[in-house]
Structure 1
Amino acid sequence: MSVSTLAARGWRAACRSPLSVALLGALMLGGCSMVPEYRQPALPLAQQWQGAEAGSAAAGGQWWREFHSAELDQLIARGLASNYTLKAAVSRIDEARASAQVAGAGQYPALNLGGNYQRQNNYGTTEKRSVFAEATYEIDFWGKQRAAADSADALANATVFDAQTLRMSLGASIADRYFEVLSLTDRLRLAQSIADDARQVLDLVQVQASQGAVSNLEVEQQRNAMQTFEAAMPPLRQQRDLALYQLAVLVGAPPEGFTVQGDGLKALQVPQPSTGLPIGLLRQRPDIQAAEARLQSANFDVGVARAAFLPNLSLDLLGGIDTLAGGQIWSAIGSISQPLFAGGQLKGQLHFDQAHVQELTSSYRESIIEGLQDVETQLSAARELDKSYALNQSAVDSAREAARLAQVRYRLGSTDFQTLLIVERNQYQAEDTLLQVRLQHLQAAVGLFRALGGDFSADTLASNSIAQVAHP
């Protein structure tokens, strides 16, 4: 008789045994649960954002396309696909889900198939073959195993939300660094242009000094002005290189040879995100969702700790065939245990888990008000920087006109040299300030998109799939 035939007969014997019916019945038990009813912690929320008009609901999706920069789109797509920190976060999702699978295994019987073969010659040849199946099951009458599995599942969900939070922050960081590189490129170009203008004025002053119209004092003052403008460029180059190398790391590229092709900030548009309502933030921000998932996990842990005080019932079932005995073999063992004294371990674990729930309840509420504060801060920044940019643009227009008039009047001899120096410096400061405000304005829009939840969407919130976390 083949081993496979013996195995099949062994399984049939096990299934026909009286205790197999008991085991299957035990699988249907469990309906009792010691897990406290979960209720989402309440937190009063305002009807709308401070100083913001009621508008349409915040929309998820690829918010970076609102800046209308093909290069930015490519950089963010590259970063979401290649950033190593994000890849590590996706791997943590796999780890957490595998841990949840391990934790959930206790809900099911452990089944094993075994066999023996023995041949001996003691005044005659004797062969013995046996095949048996063994099942061990701890009846989850109090829902302890179910609660442990649910706790692990909630933690796995939290890691998904953590990865979404990282994805949200990564996209914003790439946009911020890209805009910073373009801004510093603009500021370098401005410093070079002002330095070139100052050099032309220096040439004029030197000619006038050679003719005795001005003294060497004016020559050195203008030379100092030109050198001041030139001295501003090395620090700007260093800052630009730093931002460029940081951008390279964010998109998963080595910094050597990494460049961007963007030609300044002028071609970019400053979008106006739809903010929706404060209540929507609870479903849009993955960090808030991660905090709630951890709270739900802790609530399941309380059920595990409660069930540990109650009796445990386990069953061991063995069934098979022994060819020497010429018949079926089976055994069934049921055992029950009731904790009586554990030195305060069970009570201490329960108190720990209950305190952990209270801790995470506070953390969840804190994450909500921090999210609200984040949105309000970015709304204020976007609103005030919009005004600041308009005012600084007017200041630049005035400074440019003053510099043009000063140069004309100086050439005609109708204004003094000190006035020319002052308007040169004022023009440079006004234009450099405008470029910095332009950068802050763009970054405030990025910050508002991030504060509202980044590229959230209904599909992403519903499925929490790894693919949606790892890819745009």
Structure 2
Amino acid sequence: MSVPKTKARRRRVAFQSSATLILLGVLTLGGCSMVPEYRQPELPLAQQWNAASGGQSAAGGQWWREFHSAELDQLIDRGLASNFTLKAAISRIDEARASAQVTGAGQYPALNLGGNYQRQNNYGTTQKRSVFAEATYEVDFWGKQRAAADSADALANATAFDAQTLRMSLSASIADSYFQVLSLEERLRLAQSIADDARQVLDLVEIQASQGAVSNLEVAQQRNAMQTFEAAMPPLRQQRDQALYQLAVLVGAPPEGFHLQGDSLGALQVPQPATGLPIGLLRQRPDIQAAEARLKSANFDVGVARAAFLPNLSLDLLGGIDTLAGGQIWSVIGTLGQPVFAGGQLKGQLHFDQAHVQELTASYRESIVEALQDVETQISAARELDKSYALNASAVDSAREAARLAQVRYRLGSTDFQTLLIVERTQYQAEDTLLQVRLQHLQAAVGLFRALGGDFSADALALNSSVQVTHP
């Protein structure tokens, strides 16, 4: 090995060591922070719900399994895996994470490698070859870059909580639509059954009219009753088809050929969710967590705006070697800047960020109040619909018995035709109302699960962990 090459290599190693020490030194200069101390906004929370029946803690998990419907379980699993809106929301998490990485890169030096080759041959031959490295770094004295990175991380977390909110709403919407389809199927069967019974009565009345026992008025009235029951079916079919197609979209399937196996709400159980305590909503509801994450981001932005008023130091380090001559190439440039006049731009930005914090504080508090209202409303709905269902079930039993007795008495000639018409309509209305209350009862349970935060178990919240940005 030649001596010039050995010396050149030693100089290169020495330069690399010096550059490393300089960069490590400047990286330790930062440390101050202009970010205001974050304090979670205070909001008076009651010790318990107005109408809560028990003190059990609300537990997150796959709440839809509490209805004991294998088909519902499959639909929600399919929706959570295939719904296009949810897929878009998850992609927005990746976008936010990438944006946070871009913002966080400002905390670290930018390193570039380069080289130069030059050759001249006018009155002789000249060759120059050089290899150099360049580093640029803005010393984060006031924590400006750190605050900007933390702000971006908080926004990424908010995006993840938004996706969790959508996931919560999606599963509830699938359950609601599924129950609605089954309810409309039952109401269609009821309308058909009542219409068939009315047709049988019409046949009887027509026979009596042919024998002169009744007039054509009774025939026309009974025919009108039968036609009224039949006329109720087309709107019910249209509503069922609309709910079915909506359900198909929710689970990420085309409406064509989509159908359900179940056709009745009778096998479903109405669960009674444990409501826990009001303070639990702060960790259970992803929309509340998203609102707080945005508030934290705005608080970091205030620190960025404050640091913009203070001096900043930028370092540019260039070093390398001439591979032909073995000489060193190096330079160190430090630039110290202090804002003097910006036409009010810096002050305006600071005032904007401070006002933004106040805005998001109000939004955060409102999200909590709305969540409390949501839970109280659903608790009341579940309680009152439970009572309503029991009362309507008793009313159906009475209506059925009245209809049976009226038909027997009419055949025996001991009651008039008007009484028979009244009990026919009363029975249909009572049974149809019971089916609608049954649907509302099931949907109230779904609403309460959703209001409490849906599936806030550790496995479900793992979706959010993907946005935790690790800066290089």
TM-score, normalised with respect to structure 2: 0.95
Q: What is aligned with 2:404?
A: 404
Whether the aligned pair in 2 keeps the contact of 1:393 and 1:434 (CA below 8 Å) is yes
1:173 matched to 2:162:
no
Structure 1: distance between partners of 2:52 and 2:453:
18
Range moving further from structure 2, 50-59 or 405-414: 50-59
Whether the aligned pair in 2 keeps the contact of 1:11 and 1:319 (CA below 8 Å) is no
Question: Which residue identity lines up with residue 288 of structure 1 in the other structure?
Answer: I
Q: What is aligned with 1:49?
A: 49
Whether the aligned pair in 1 keeps the contact of 2:56 and 2:276 (CA below 8 Å) is yes
1:323 to partner: Cα distance:
2.9
1:458 to partner: Cα distance:
3.5
Q: How does 1:370-389 map to 2 (within 5 A)?
A: 370-389=370-389
Q: What is aligned with 1:248?
A: 248
Structure 2: distance between partners of 1:275 and 1:52:
7
Question: Which residue identity lines up with residue 65 of structure 1 in the other structure?
Answer: R
Q: What is aligned with 1:148?
A: 148
1:359 to partner: Cα distance:
0.3
Structure 1: distance between partners of 2:243 and 2:9:
68
In structure 2, the CA distance between the partners of 1:6 and 1:412, relative to structure 1 (3 Å rule), is farther
Question: Which residue identity lines up with residue 284 of structure 1 in the other structure?
Answer: Q
Whether the aligned pair in 2 keeps the contact of 1:96 and 1:156 (CA below 8 Å) is yes
Q: What is aligned with 2:186?
A: 186
In the alignment, structure 2 segments of 5+ residues that lack a partner are 468-472
Secondary structure of 1:111's counterpart equals: strand
Whether the aligned pair in 1 keeps the contact of 2:318 and 2:330 (CA below 8 Å) is yes
Q: How does 1:78-93 map to 2 (within 5 A)?
A: 78-93=78-93
1:128 to partner: Cα distance:
1.2
Question: How many residue pairs end up in the alignment?
Answer: 463
Secondary structure of 2:117's counterpart equals: strand
In the alignment, structure 1 segments of 5+ residues that lack a partner are 468-472
1:462 to partner: Cα distance:
6.8
Q: What is aligned with 2:16?
A: 15
Question: Which residue identity lines up with residue 333 of structure 1 in the other structure?
Answer: I
Structure 1: distance between partners of 2:132 and 2:14:
9
Q: How does 1:49-448 map to 2 (within 5 A)?
A: 49-448=49-448
Structure 2: distance between partners of 1:266 and 1:39:
50
Question: Which residue identity lines up with residue 290 of structure 2 in the other structure?
Answer: A
Secondary structure of 1:135's counterpart equals: strand
Structure 1: distance between partners of 2:466 and 2:208:
72
In structure 2, the CA distance between the partners of 1:446 and 1:128, relative to structure 1 (3 Å rule), is same
Structure 2: distance between partners of 1:10 and 1:424:
105
Structure 1: distance between partners of 2:95 and 2:7:
39
1:431 to partner: Cα distance:
0.2
Structure 1: distance between partners of 2:317 and 2:15:
8
In structure 2, the CA distance between the partners of 1:11 and 1:217, relative to structure 1 (3 Å rule), is farther
Range moving further from structure 2, 322-331 or 74-83: 322-331
Range moving further from structure 2, 298-307 or 454-463: 454-463
Whether the aligned pair in 1 keeps the contact of 2:8 and 2:327 (CA below 8 Å) is no
Secondary structure of 1:36's counterpart equals: coil
Secondary structure of 1:464's counterpart equals: helix
**Residues 401-425 of structure 1: CA deviation (Å, up to 9, x unaligned):** 0000000010111100000000000
Question: Which residue identity lines up with residue 434 of structure 1 in the other structure?
Answer: L
1:29 to partner: Cα distance:
1.7
Question: Which residue identity lines up with residue 191 of structure 1 in the other structure?
Answer: A
Whether the aligned pair in 1 keeps the contact of 2:317 and 2:333 (CA below 8 Å) is yes
**Residues 311-349 of structure 1: CA deviation (Å, up to 9, x unaligned):** 000111111111344311111011100001100000000
Whether the aligned pair in 1 keeps the contact of 2:137 and 2:316 (CA below 8 Å) is yes
Whether the aligned pair in 1 keeps the contact of 2:54 and 2:274 (CA below 8 Å) is no
1:23 to partner: Cα distance:
2.8
TM-score, normalised with respect to structure 1: 0.95
1:21 to partner: Cα distance:
2.9
1:138 to partner: Cα distance:
0.3
**Residues 156-208 of structure 1: CA deviation (Å, up to 9, x unaligned):** 00000000000000000000000000000000000000000000000001111
In structure 2, the CA distance between the partners of 1:125 and 1:102, relative to structure 1 (3 Å rule), is same
Structure 1: distance between partners of 2:78 and 2:12:
55
In structure 2, the CA distance between the partners of 1:186 and 1:7, relative to structure 1 (3 Å rule), is farther
Whether the aligned pair in 2 keeps the contact of 1:139 and 1:314 (CA below 8 Å) is yes
Identity %: 87
Structure 1: distance between partners of 2:14 and 2:317:
11
**Residues 86-136 of structure 1: CA deviation (Å, up to 9, x unaligned):** 000001001000000000000000000000112222333222110000000
**Residues 417-442 of structure 1: CA deviation (Å, up to 9, x unaligned):** 00000000000000000000000000
Secondary structure of 2:275's counterpart equals: coil
Whether the aligned pair in 1 keeps the contact of 2:245 and 2:255 (CA below 8 Å) is yes
1:391 to partner: Cα distance:
0.2
Question: Which residue identity lines up with residue 211 of structure 1 in the other structure?
Answer: Q
In structure 2, the CA distance between the partners of 1:332 and 1:434, relative to structure 1 (3 Å rule), is same
Structure 1: distance between partners of 2:164 and 2:8:
49
RMSD after superposition: 1.8
Secondary structure of 1:270's counterpart equals: coil
Secondary structure of 1:225's counterpart equals: helix
Whether the aligned pair in 1 keeps the contact of 2:164 and 2:461 (CA below 8 Å) is no
Question: Which residue identity lines up with residue 47 of structure 1 in the other structure?
Answer: Q
Question: Which residue identity lines up with residue 138 of structure 2 in the other structure?
Answer: E
1:73 to partner: Cα distance:
0.5
Range moving further from structure 2, 323-332 or 262-271: 323-332
Question: Which residue identity lines up with residue 36 of structure 1 in the other structure?
Answer: P
Q: What is aligned with 1:470?
A: none
Whether the aligned pair in 2 keeps the contact of 1:6 and 1:131 (CA below 8 Å) is no
1:10 to partner: Cα distance:
8.2
1:238 to partner: Cα distance:
0.4
Structure 1: distance between partners of 2:160 and 2:334:
41
